[in-house]
Chain A
């Protein structure tokens, strides 16, 4: 039981490049989330998927897109990376509507 896994762990991009962050969970959770964490800013919700087949914007969705590929997988895409997207990205999952979220190990992204 791996919980929530994320790939890659580290990534460096040049401004304007694109990439997809992958996330998968094996806990049969309905809900999945993408957060970014910047120093001194706590965690901010980018997008979420309350259940398979649905996705919705969170607090900071601009510059990102998501895909809920199936119940297990939820990916985050940066179409044209900007230095302001340098951050640590966390994926999380939970039972639908539940307060306890399980986080992946994070992806450390640097955009130069």
Chain B
């Protein structure tokens, strides 16, 4: 089967750096995505790693190590508006009939940014 593990909650202060880790077990790994969801809102796409290494998008970076089945999301210069839940999601080519677009989501990490 498939499983993803990420911390349930993280707290940090404004201006700090926070790292949210994600470890996964899948039968046919095809890539790791990160989504952000504010309370009451819809998930929105943040980043994707298909290959090992770091991807940077502004204040957010995401890292993947396929050999370790591990990735993380790094948020720099934290702002109050970054308070949200963050989900890692795995593309699994063997899941649900092999459709590459399907994602398996972790349970989410609730980030609270304090002043």
Contacts and interface: CB of A to CB of B under 8 A. Distances in A.
30 contacts: A31-B99, A33-B102, A40-B8, A40-B107, A41-B107, A42-B105, A43-B89, A43-B103, A43-B105, A44-B105, A45-B96, A45-B104, A48-B101, A48-B102, A56-B99, A57-B96, A58-B102, A90-B42, A96-B101, A97-B101, A99-B31, A99-B50, A100-B33, A100-B45, A100-B48, A101-B43, A102-B45, A103-B43, A105-B41, A106-B42
Contacts of A31: 99, 101
Contact of A42 (B41, B45, B91, B108): B108
Given A45-B96, A58-B96, A101 B103 contact: yes
Interface residues of A, number: 27
B48 A90 contact: no
A4 B17 CA distance: 33
B58 interface: no
Interface of A: 31, 33, 40-45, 48, 50, 56-59, 90, 94, 96-106
A99 B43 contact: no
B42 A42 contact: no
Interface in B95-115: 96-97, 99-108
A98 B106 CA distance: 19
Nearest to A38: B107
B27 interface: no
A50 B101 CA distance: 8
Interface residues of B, number: 25
Nearest to B108: A42
B102 A45 contact: yes
Nearest to B87: A42
B4 to A, nearest CB: 8
Contacts of A40: 8, 107
Contacts of A97: 99-101
B33 A99 contact: yes
Contacts of B99: 31, 48, 50, 56, 97
